[in-house]
Structures are given as C-alpha cells and as structure tokens.
Amino acid sequence: MLTVYPDSGKPIWIDLRDPTPEEIAKACADYGLEIPPRAQLEEIEFSSRLQYEDGTFTLSVPVTPHLKNSDADDVTSPLGFVLTRDLLVTVRFSHLQTFEAIRTRVRRRTRSAADIFLVILEALIDYGADQLEELRAEALRVSQRIFHEDMPEKQKRNVSAVSRMLRGTLVEIGDMGERLSHIRDTLLVLQRAVPFVNEHGDWIEPVVKARLKMAGKDVQSLNDYEVHLTDKIQFLLDAALGFISTEQNDLFKVMTIWSTVGIPPVLLAGIWGMNFHVMPELSATWGYPVALASILVSALVPLSWFKWRGWW
C-alpha cells in the first residue's frame, strides 16, 4: 500500500506498507530513489542499516508490532527509511499503531521531510519507553509473587500448586526476556542512527538537529534503563530457579527423613519375624506388647532427633 503526504501538491512523505516488488520499483522510478527491498533491510550489520550517499540517508530499524496478539508472522520486522532534503520514504511490513498518531501529527502543519523523520523517531522512542515501563511493572509483580509469598498458606503446602506457580513464573520471565531483547535491538540501532543522521545531515534544519540531539539523549537513557531491567529479569530468573531447587531439596529431605525413620522399625520387625525355636521373648506373655512398643519407640526416636535439629 502506498500513501502520499500531503494528499495534494508536492509529496513530502511516502509510506509503503507491505509493498510488492512492483510497487517498490514504481516508487523508485517515480521519485528517482533507490528503495531497498525487505531482504536488504533485514541485514544486521550496521554498515547496511546506516548508509549516507549523495545527500540520501538509507536506514533500517528493527521494530515490533505495536498491537498485542498481532497477526504478523514476524515478532520483529524492519522499518526502512529513505530520507533526502525534500522527501521521506518509509517501508514497513507490519502494522504499527503509532503511525496513526504520526499521520495526525504530520497533518497539523507543514513539515519538512527531516521533521517528519524526527516525528517518527520520537514516536519509536516513546513506544520503547512505554514497553520498558510495562516490563518494569510486570517485573515488580513477579518479584512480589516470588519474594513476598502471595500464595495462601493452604496452597503453599500443596506441592503441585507451588510447582505450577513456579513453572508459570519461569514462562512469564522467559517471555519478558524475549520482549526485552526485541526492545534492545531497536534501541541499539536508534542509538547509532540518531547521531549518524545528525552528523551527516548538513542540510537538516538547526531546529530539527537540536531535537535530534535530545532524541539521542533519550535513547541513551533508555538503553541504560534497559541494562538495569535486564539485570532485574536475570535476577528474577535466578531467584525462580533457586526456589525450584529449594522445593526439590525439601521434597528429597522429606523422603530421606521418612526412609531413615522406617529403618529401625523394619529392622526390629525383621528380627522378631525370624522362625528360630530359641527366642525367649516369643514365648513370654509380655513379648508382643514389648515388640510393638519397641517398634514405635524406634520410629519416634529418629523423628524427635530430626525435629530437634530443625530438619522437619
């Protein structure tokens, strides 16, 4: 789909969404530009993502769809920019909700191509900040669940319930880590792209250059916060794995205690269960109750010792 802004007169911004090779070729011919195909936009080296030649910027930024439960096949997709003094071309392959607000903002007044490019960058930065804030809130909820024992006391004694909770927590932490990695990809490219454009774009208006500089500082601060959030998520992952290990140790401890407690009674029962003729206690009237009492005491003694040691 090809959208031209403004709607009439000389175009300033051309938005290509899911363009076919024929549409890209037509746009190249109509506007005298080299618009890269998707395969080129998906290259990961910075020399391919950031290019400037003959007064034309060609940039590629990996972005994630702005809508949850998106039908997009890719978790991330490239957002391409071709920027000249008089024209901006964007190439995207997923629905980005931010573009609706960008279109509204662009139509409010007359803007240059560089100004529209900056508006899009600012929207991407704002969206990245929103995503980081959302992940921070989720990390706090997971931390509350892990460290502050939100589960009722009855559920804590239910091994299956605790296992399900910890398993769900691991899945949630893994999802948070994956989403954070996509945000990191976007911020790392923006961190290089903003100063790159500011340095090489001699024809960019001073006002736009000043705003680009501020945008670069915002990206840097988001990158610093992303590092902090990465450490937080890694800490939560280690904590969840530690609690799983503790639950397993508790289970093995209980099994070990009961198996140890069962050894003396089994030993005594085995001794008195032997079929020898000469066993004085077998013919005594007190033999049976003494044997039962001995078996009971042999089980209570190790249980009391484990209790005294605090192991049970």
Residue 237 phi, psi (nearest 5): -65, -45
Is 1-96 a CATH 3.30.460.20 domain? yes
CA 134 from chain centre, in angstroms, equals 11
Is 254-309 a CATH 1.20.58.340 domain? yes
Q: Quick one: which of 286, 165, 180 has its CA closest to 226?
A: 180
Mean pLDDT across the stretch 166-194?
91
* Ramachandran region, residue 254 (left: φ > 0; alpha: ψ -120 to 50; beta: rest): alpha
- Rounded distance between C-alpha atoms, residue 19 and residue 93, angstroms: 8
Output 273 or 140, whichever has higher pLDDT.
Answer: 140
Mean pLDDT across the stretch 69-96?
80
**Amino acid sitting at position 167:** R
Instruction: Name the DSSP letter for residue 157.
Output: T
Output 57 or 3, whichever has higher pLDDT.
Answer: 57
Cβ contact 92:128 at 8 Å: no
* Domain ranges across the chain: 1-96, 254-309
Task: Give the gyration radius of the chain's Cα atoms.
Answer: 34
List pLDDT tens digits, range 105-157.
888 888 899 999 999 999 999 999 999 999 999 999 898 887 866 555 555 55
For residue 221, the model assigns a pLDDT of: 95
Q: CB-based burial of residue 120 (10 Å sphere; 0-12 exposed, 13-18 middle, 19+ buried)?
A: buried
- Look up the pTM and report it: 0.76
